[in-house]
A and B are shown apart, each in its own frame.
Chain A
Amino acid sequence: MRKYLLKRIFYLFLTLFIVATVTFFLMKLMPGTPLQNEAKLTATEKAAILAQYGLDKPVWLQYFIYIGGIFKGSLGLSFQFSDQAVSYLIGSRMGPSMQLGGQALVVGIILGIILGAIGAIRKDTWADRLATILSILGIAVPSFVLAILLQYYLGLKTGWFPVAGWEGFAYTILPTLALAASPLAETARFIRTDMVDVLSSDYIELAKAKGLSKFGIVYHHALRNSLIPMVTLIGPLAAALMTGSMVVENIFSVPGIGEQFVKSILVNDYPTIMGVTIFYSALLCLLLLLTDIVYGIIDPRIRLSGNGD
């Protein structure tokens, strides 16, 4: 298990290195410069500013300088926020994003499991059909459309929840709901299909023959076996949440990383683009690693055979 973990952590760093490299050169291909009022600057002023930030050097050299900086533990300074460290920028904006993402994932998965299980247990009844319609809607309606609808009806019209901003738990509810719809729907669909399979398996028949109650069978046997493949879904769900959060954070004026990222791309803030990309990649890689470890814990067949790949 330790050997496996070490191997996975090595791959994690390799992945991040490749992501950083590719992003760096792609970013350099973007049109424009970080200079905001380029037209008013003289050639010497321009050269002086570029030299100050090391942007006059050949791109490959800039790349090595940047990577060297990362190895020294520095993500560089942001261009747009009066030379704030990128790591500080991410750190200070991480809270709201993580809270939103975490809440949305938990709410979405738990409700999704319940909805999916109801669909499977009450297969081909009105309850199943209702669950199916809900999950199709959840997948089909993009989070930003839902965000605006929630904002309008539950925020503006009824006044139950604050419309936008970030001043306490009440402010997280609408963005959480908007973000949770898609993981909820994906989970419900996945669990339903999976549990219908599990419920028709021989060991469920044996559980019935033991005289267990319907609830006992679902809770002790069907759920766990349906949840195992579900774990592999968590990584992709989290990735989808990250991209969704960028737009939703903007709609609800949440001071998170997603909002920051969109801004920094617009103004060619190179260190921030790199920093946020690497941060998101690292988060996703960690989540996938965590998923595999959790998979091993709940599926004994994988845990004891020692490797999960």
Chain B
Amino acid sequence: MENPENVIEVRNLEIDFHTYAGEVKAIRDVSFDLRKGETLAIVGESGSGKSVTTRSLMGLLAPNAEIKKGSIMFHGEDIIKKSEKDMQHIRGKDIAMIFQDPMTSLDPTMRIGMQIAEPLMKHKGLKKKEAVAQALEMLKLVGITDPEARINDYPYQFSGGMRQRIVIAIALVCYPEVLIADEPTTALDVTIQAQILDLMKDLQNRIDTSIIFITHDLGVVAGMADRVAVMYAGKIVEYGTVDEIFFNPQHPYTWGLLNSMPTLDTASGSLRAIPGTPPDLLDPPTGDAFAARSDYAMKIDTEKQPPFFKVSDTHYAATWLLHPDAPKVTPPAEIVRRQKKFAEMQKPEAPFAHTASKE
């Protein structure tokens, strides 16, 4: 491990999918770290590769996926090189996962107590009785009311929000070091979303776990994450702390994402979208993949892949706009407004710094 604070270090990961049409380059040279106790959000639109990246951490890639290059270091060992058998001992114990749709991710024919107890029996060698007793504690922890009575219920007897609490209980029952949450609130309605996010934050503190939070919902990211990585077309294009990404974004794609996020001040009837569609990853573009959709694209963007430029110690962005020779451009008005706020936040004891980050 390069840094003892890192739980996971992903380096130069490249994943292809073999399809009838050819090789889809789903993940192209992705590197990131997950630090102990932090929440790292991976943001991007559908097909940007955020789910594939995290599946590779679990060793749960589809059979037609192939890891071409790179390493995923966990406890000083490369997960990619591990056998299926070894991965079974990591999954659910050290690295656990929460899925998107709680309505379909529980086994409809097994009592929920047993479903929560299963990882304990597998990883801690507990007998059924002890495991179910611990499952009961877990049910209490995730806020299921009357857990003694409900532990023997079946999934269909719970609402969507309650089911997601149960899925969280399953994921956390072995106190994993890393929790991967793959759009855990997308299928829930907004009030329930907030409850589930609060619950996750609360449990993160108690269990001391690091979270990788995958989402396309920037509103959720703001309240949840410590750091954010923005993915586009199989690459990370920008990463930094949540304040840096929200208030001092550098990559035109991040601008587009933030710009398309409706806020309370957004004039009615003016939802802004990013024009165009993501590139075909069967044949990814040579330069900056976002160039074709960007108003700020330069000639070099279509010719050469931009490297990461340092914005601060924690903030990097892969855009030629940060090159010293690049012309000065003015981002969209909304982004300028955010950057102004960011400048205020940088002043010592900025009165609105805390509330602003909650936006």
Contact = CB atoms under 8 A, between A and B. Distances in A.
Main secondary structure of the interface of A (DSSP, over half): helix
27 contacts: A201-B104, A202-B105, A203-B104, A203-B105, A203-B106, A206-B170, A208-B60, A209-B60, A209-B99, A210-B91, A210-B92, A210-B119, A210-B122, A210-B170, A211-B87, A211-B90, A211-B91, A211-B92, A211-B93, A211-B119, A213-B88, A220-B110, A220-B118, A221-B107, A300-B156, A301-B154, A304-B157
Interface in B49-63: 58, 60
B123 interface: yes
B108 interface: yes
B60 to A, nearest CB: 6
Nearest to B114: A220
Contacts of B99: 202, 205-206, 209
A211 B96 CA distance: 9
Given A206-B106, A211-B90, 10 more contacts: A202-B104, A203-B106, A205-B105, A209-B92, A210-B96, A210-B122, A210-B170, A216-B122, A224-B109, A300-B154
B90 A225 contact: no
Contacts of B171: 209
Contacts, number: 76
Interface of B: 58, 60, 87-93, 96-97, 99, 101, 104-110, 118-119, 122-123, 154, 156-157, 167, 170-171
Nearest to B180: A209
A282 interface: no
- Interface size bracket, A side: 20 to 34
A4 B56 CA distance: 50
Contacts of B106: 203, 206
A197 to B, nearest CB: 12
Contacts of A213: 88
A251 interface: no
A228 interface: yes
Contact of A225 (B58, B109, B156, B157): B109
5 cross-chain pairs, A with B, having the tightest CB-CB distances, nearest first: A211-B92, A211-B91, A210-B92, A202-B104, A202-B105
Contacts of B105: 202-203, 205-206
A225 B104 CA distance: 13
Nearest to A198: B107
Contacts of A207: 107, 118
Nearest to A208: B60
